[in-house]
Amino acid sequence: MRRLEAVIFDMDGLMVDSEHLHSRSFEVVLNRHGVKPKVDDVIQTLGIGTPNNWKKLKKQYGLKASVDELSDQKHEVYDDLIPEIELMPGAKALFDDLQNSGIAVAVASGSSKHNIEKILNQLEISSYFSVIISGEELENAKPAPDIFLAAAKALGVEPKNCAVLEDAESGILAAKAADMLAVAVPNEFGKNEDFSKADHIFDSLEQLSAKKLKELI
């Protein structure tokens, strides 16, 4: 029998409003390398992390710089934009509710550990999370289940007793592959994502609570 013991949050676009800043960072670096994406170009693929995005963009635009060089440049640009990041509506209330309900909470994000910790500290929400997992520390990015399995292991919770909150198709697929409850909370950048594999879809974190997640699992 499943029971809710932990909630694993993706970060960018799910708990913090940052996807537009990631997109801007990719655009700045592309411009430096002589590439000006069309207005309707989708610069980044949600949920797969910076290095994997650059692998895609290198091929798409014929970039000569290495993935490591491009990633470092993007991180540098993005780092300067972090002060602009804000919490998504309903995030703080949900964190408080989960904490008061005794449910463990983790962050499992494709962002670098440096960015995750900087953002959590800036928004003063670090104390809610007992585990932080960066996808850049793992061999396989989402949609592989590695990042969520690593979070469950660090929390000491069986995967089947975890709920994952995600804003990207790759994250939903990863959660399902990990045998976890997969809850999609799409944002404007994910309008073209396929969430058909999600167990449940909500418009905002404001619609979620510890009680609601317990009922869903």
pLDDT digits (tens, 9 = 90+) for 150-178: 999 999 999 999 999 999 999 999 999 99
What is the set of active-site residues? 10, 12
* DSSP E strand boundaries for 23-171: 86-87, 104-109, 131-134, 162-166
Average pLDDT over residues 206-215: 98
Domain boundary among 55, 83, 111: 83
| Dihedral-angle region of residue 116 (phi above 0 means left; psi in -120 to 50 means alpha; beta otherwise) | alpha
As a whole number of angstroms, the distance between CA 67 and CA 4 comes to 39
Task: Answer whether 171's CB lies under 8 Å from 190's CB.
Answer: no
Residue 191 belongs to a domain: yes
The reply to whether 38 and 115 lie within a common domain is: no
Q: Are residues 178 and 127 in the same domain?
A: yes
In the chain the beta strands, taken as DSSP E runs, fall at 6-9, 16-17, 86-87, 104-109, 131-134, 162-166, 181-184, 200-201
Average pLDDT over residues 85-110: 97
- Full domain range(s) for residue 108: 6-17+86-216
pLDDT at 20: 86
Q: What is the rounded distance in angstroms from the CA atom of residue 17 to the CA atom of residue 69?
A: 26
Among residues 48, 65, 83, which one ends one of the domains? 83
CA distance 63 to 188: 28
pLDDT band at 112 (very low <50, low <70, confident <90, very high): confident
* Beta bridge pairs of residue 109: 134
Residue 41 has pLDDT above 60, yes or no: no
Distances (CA, A) of 195 to 6, 38, 166, 176, 192: 22, 26, 10, 12, 9
Split into its structural domains, the chain has a count of 2
Residue with token string 């949900």 = 94
pLDDT of 119 over the 70 cut:
yes
Asked if the model's pLDDT at residue 57 lies above 70, the reply is yes
Give yes or no: residues 163 and 175 share one domain: yes
Query: Distance between CA 146 and CA 134 in Å, rounded?
Result: 11
Q: What is the pTM of this model?
A: 0.86
Residues 24, 90 within the same domain: no
Decide if pLDDT at 40 tops 90: no
Domain boundary among 57, 83, 109: 83
Residues 192 and 97 in one domain: yes
Is 1 inside any structural domain? no
Distance CA 182, CA 194 (A): 13
Q: What is the pLDDT of residue 19?
A: 83
Q: What is the pLDDT of residues 3-28, one digit of tens each?
A: 999 999 999 999 999 988 988 899 99
Do 106 and 204 lie in a common domain?
yes
Domain identity same for 13 and 26: no
